[in-house]
Structure 1
Amino acid sequence: MESYLTIFINDEPFNCESSMSLKNILLYLNFDINFILVEYNKEILNKFELEYTFLKNNDCLEVITIVGGG
């Protein structure tokens, strides 16, 4: 039996399976993990932590996309 939880990504509720890692969630949402900065419960994560971070109900994420320019 799958269990689901609700997290908040950029202040928007999102329902996901509790077995999904943060990396899986970001890829599912079509984020390019090479060009984002992720704040998880007010702590900035490096991209190597994304695969090993599993979320709990009501966790908060801020995802910032890094864009190049010139």
Structure 2
Amino acid sequence: MKLTINGESRDSAAKDLATLWQEETAELGLSGPQGFAIALNGEVVRRAQWAETPLESGDTVEIIRAFSGG
């Protein structure tokens, strides 16, 4: 299906946010979900709900990494 991920149009076979997270971490070499948030169509989804949150073609997903700095 066609998704917009962090502003880029991409194809994905992921059916839910948890699967999409696994695809993205494998591709980018990231570790566990600590320090990351996912927004689906402008709404932040709690990590506990990623596996239960389905994706549909045309969805917009933002994967955000929190970090501290000065």
TM-score, scaled relative to structure 1: 0.77
In structure 1, the gaps of 5 or more residues are: none
User: In the TM superposition, what are the counterparts of 1:25-40 in structure 2 within 5 Å?
Assistant: 25-30=20-25, 31=30, 32-40=32-40
Q: Give matches, 1:3-42, under 5 Å.
A: 5-17=1-13, 20-30=15-25, 31=30, 32-42=32-42
Structure 2 length as normaliser, TM-score?
A: 0.77
Question: In angstroms, what is the RMSD of aligned CA positions?
Answer: 1.8
Aligned pairs, number: 65
Q: C-alpha separation between the residues in 2 aligned to 1:68 and 1:15?
A: 32
What SS is found at the alignment partner of 2:11?
strand
Q: Give the % identical residues.
A: 20
Give the number of the structure whose residues are more often strand, by fraction: 1
Task: Find the aligned partners of 1:66 and 1:27 in 2 and give their Cα distance.
Answer: 18
Runs of 4+ in 1 over 3 A off after TM superposition: none
Which is richer in helix?
A: 2
Task: Between 26-35 and 53-62, report the one with greater CA deviation.
Answer: 26-35
Q: Does 1:44 align with 2:44?
A: yes
